[in-house]
Amino acid sequence: MDLWFFEKKATDNGFRAVAGIDEAGRGPLAGPVVSAAVILPQAFSVADVTDSKKLSAKKRARLYEKIYAQAVSVGIGIVDAAEIDRINILQASLLAMSIATHNLDPQPDCLLIDGPFRISSRLSQKPIVRGDTLSVSIAAASIVAKVTRDRLMEGYHEYFPQFGFYQHKGYPTRAHKAAIREFGYCPIHRKTFRGVKEFL
């Protein structure tokens, strides 16, 4: 399959700067949701670039460096746990995507978005279900978003070591849920999520 298919189609339709957008962190019980928007040059090699969940942490880190080194532009959007609780995780994810798009420089004129939803933007948009396996730009964004979020969670571990965030990155593992039962919640936990709200 041609991972450049959607990018080429957009270019054929007259667009000049196509950004892929994806997020990481919808499912965890703690931490932010992080989105990335990436504009790739046409010469970028697609080798090994795919949905970040299919890659090892070591391979993601290597590709993260490659994407940052070669991308035309990378934008990051971060929405914290308190805002997730206030507006819900879907709206927080879409907001993070909008922020990531706004942080691109230069700005794109077309967006390829992972999933079925459009974001708050006047730019031309194409939502693509399973886009992180179908579009090289979205796949690159998924890698950047995942690595960025994982590193944030590793940083949070320094402040809240009892929860083991460096291991599970806030996802609802058995060890994480056991830590919540023992220690309660901390400021980066999502208090509206099942697995946390029972202990408020």
- Per-residue pLDDT tens digits for 89-100: 999 999 999 999
Residue 95 maps to a domain: yes
Q: Order of strands across the sheet with 124-128? A: 73-79, 33-39, 18-24, 110-114, 124-128
Instruction: Name the percent of the chain lying above pLDDT 70.
Output: 100
Total domains in the fold of the chain: 1
Residue 189 maps to a domain: no
Residue 81 maps to a domain: yes
What residues contact residue 101 under an 8 Å CB cut-off, 6+ apart?
19, 21, 37, 75, 77, 107, 108, 111, 119, 121, 123
Contact 152, 34 (CB under 8 A): yes
pTM: 0.97
Question: Which residues constitute the domain of residue 62?
Answer: 5-158
**pLDDT grade for 145, boundaries at 50, 70 and 90:** very high
CA distances from 106 to 40, 109, 139 (A): 12, 10, 20
Q: Find the CATH number of the domain harbouring 146.
A: 3.30.420.10
Structural tokens at position 44 = 């970028």
Block residue for tokens 């179908």: 134
Q: Is it the case that residue 1 has pLDDT exceeding 90?
A: no
Burial of 117 (0-12, 13-18, 19+ CB in 10 A): middle
Residue 145 maps to a domain: yes
- Per-residue pLDDT tens digits for 12-39: 999 999 999 999 999 999 999 999 999 9
Residue 103 maps to a domain: yes
What residues contact residue 88 under an 8 Å CB cut-off, 6+ apart?
192
- Per-residue pLDDT tens digits for 172-197: 999 999 999 999 999 999 999 999 99
Distance of CA 43 to the CA centre of its chain: 24
